[in-house]
Amino acid sequence: MATDTKPKVVTIGIATASYQREAPTTMLRLTEKLLQRGAHVNIWTFEEAVTLTNKDQKDHQEPPGLHEVAGKQHTYVGKFVDGIMKAALHSGALKWVVCILCVQERGVDAHQMNGAIIGTFGDFWKFANASDRLIIIPTYR
């Protein structure tokens, strides 16, 4: 008997960047679990979240007094964004689109990681229409 093997599609819209709230970390953890379950995930970032894929982010040094407890380097969320995009490269199960107006406003349009696609609200609309689940993670000040 044939079974329905079509993967479920989840679109996640997020407006929050690193250092504002935990939301980007939560989204990455959730995305990993969804991908592990065979789902396809579309990430649509807007507002500050478009800086998650700024390729110029770097590890930075911890103060010397904290080396024993925190190590010498402090990592950044973008490293994990890059990692998850590369991990999903050949499955095609993850798409990552950044809002064009938002990247231009923040001067990061020429600084996006290779896996991020600069798109529009039209892309978001198409994602939303083609998804089984839609999650919008707002930002709070």
Residues that bind another protein (CB under 8 A): 8, 10, 21-23, 26, 29-30, 33-34, 36-37, 39, 133-138, 140
Helix (H) or strand (E) holding 52: none
For residue 134, the minimal CB distance to another protein (Å) is 7
Cβ proximity to another protein: between 22 and 56 the closer is: 22
Cβ proximity to another protein: between 88 and 118 the closer is: 88
Half-sphere exposure of 7 (CA within 13 A, CB side): 16
For residue 55, the minimal CB distance to another protein (Å) is 27
For residue 19, the minimal CB distance to another protein (Å) is 14
Cβ proximity to another protein: between 36 and 60 the closer is: 36
- What is the spatial distance between Cα 99 and Cα 47, in angstroms, rounded to a whole number? 8
Q: Which residues contact 14 (CB under 8 A, 6 or more apart)?
A: 23, 24, 27, 43, 44, 45, 46, 49, 136, 137
For residue 29, the minimal CB distance to another protein (Å) is 5
Cβ proximity to another protein: between 63 and 140 the closer is: 140
Closest CA to 42 of 112, 97, 81: 97
